[in-house]
Structure 1
Amino acid sequence: MTQNTVEKAPVTLLGLGAMGTALARAWMADGHPLTVWNRTPARAAALGAEGARVADSAAEAVAANALVVVCLLDDASVEEVLGGTELAGRDLVNLTTGTPGQARARAEWARERGARYLDGGIMAVPPMVGVPEASGYVFYSGSRELFERHQETLGVPVGTRYVGEDAGFAALHDVALLSAMYGMFAGAAHAFALIRKEDIDPTSLAPLLADWLVAMAPAVHTTADQLKSGDYTKGVVSNIAMQVAGTPTFLSTAEQQGVSPELLSPFFELMRRRLAEGSGEEDLTGVIDLLLQ
């Protein structure tokens, strides 16, 4: 090493699916010594040819480095792969998609085995990894000290966002954002279905739809402010009474176009319930309270 050379932290990575492979290549490209293991040896062999050290077993990979990153199929896979390894003294970062409850249980499981634990929720797809301008990131929760110790290394593939000491918070943020995404996709699917039988080019609707969704997105800040203050009439632009009055038009249009209303009807029903129970001057924020069990 020369005087100006900075030695990069070594990393162990278990799991080389599309995301794991992308993470691996990003760390190697940044000069981090990498030890990998995968259930399917061929995937590990490909990275071995690119400079990674390929371990013969998960236990060998875990023993190689203090920082161990796991990116497997599900929580059951984490249990299966790590069950026979020696985790004492290891810094375990779990990027496997799971529920908040699974993350909390896994944090306790790791603690009982002498490991420090961080849970992660990846807000990126593989092509975004290693591409800073793509703006991907990972939510992290668990030990703040552990996060700060490895933040620079963890931030190499994608950005990092620490969301709290509760190990379940990363998964909760992940699922919350993805749930909103699927709601958006549901609305877009209904919109495209409405024009599907007409002489309307869907590629002409797409930019209008995208621009409209972008214009509406800042409404989440009003919702958050109303939830925090408890005043659901604060800053209302279109109150719930007015919006409920307009829902028959959406349902009639769907019927006339031969489109099932099943993506809209549940939300409209919640809106009607909230109007019946609350104030017509409220925003749609009160619907959130109806969802709580």
Structure 2
Amino acid sequence: MSDTHLNPAVLAPDEGIYPIREVSRLTGVNAVTLRAWQRRYGLIQPARTEKGHRLYSEQDIRQIGEILSWLERGVSIGQVKGLLSEPQSQQVNDHWQQTFEQLGQAVLALHQRKVEALLNELLASYPFELVRSRVLQPLVAQLLGLWRERPDGALLQQVWLGWLQTRFARHLIEQEKGQPVTLVSWGQVGPLDLIWCGYELVSQGYEVQLLGAVDPKTAALLEGRAATPWLVLLGAGLGKQELSADWPAGTCLLGELGGLYDPDWLATRDWQPTLASWLSTQRLTDRRPENSPSQGSSVRERRAP
């Protein structure tokens, strides 16, 4: 199929042929990773237009869902192709645990080049949501506890938390134009959680205005200057008086720590437990029902909590 050239102008809407940007929105796998799956691993061979642009079918989108399922189970991307054709043909190891241990050893050794190379490989080959939840968050948790375990623990924590923040903030500084959104935190969140939310939003085509820690009173002062909608990463430690304040219209609260608060209060503020679940609702909202491929949209619906 990779050698097939099609003219998108003559395709019927129900033929299920979608450009790479749309496939990225449907599945949550960014365009860089989709290209890597094709070129490096022989996965997902889309058709091409006469100008060489990739066009994906609904079958391709379903296969992306299968690939994500294997990756979630701990399979490395290099093993997936064989498992798609013969699911029982290979022994499956926990790729994520092995990767975490390898990265942790490089961190303790202060081997910055190796950490950068490992991280670049992960970000190019896997969806960021998986990299964050399976490797980065456990790594930060380990760093935060090092001061109790090692004499140099506080120094290692300082060095690597700063390095990681700079690494992901760079992506926000270099972002291209996209759908605008303002991203802030409210309450006590992890040291890199907000940066990671911004990174994932940029990867999904959003133009992120990152303001840091903001409360509703400050947000009201910025109405008309800050982009809408507002996305608020909800943290711990907020009291009843703080929770009674109102955010700008269209604001969405998100984050697992929202589970600490009253469910009825959360329901009135469009709370989503994860950024992935918010992105999933946006994909469904942004697409017209007649053009929405049932199998494609279900990929992320299945994965979102």
Please confirm whether the aligned pair reaches a TM-score higher than 0.5, indicating the same fold.
no
Q: Which of these two proteins has the greater Rg computed from alpha carbons?
A: 1
Higher relative contact order (CA 8 A, sep 6+): 2
Q: Which has the higher helix share?
A: 2
* TM-score (norm: length of structure 2): 0.28
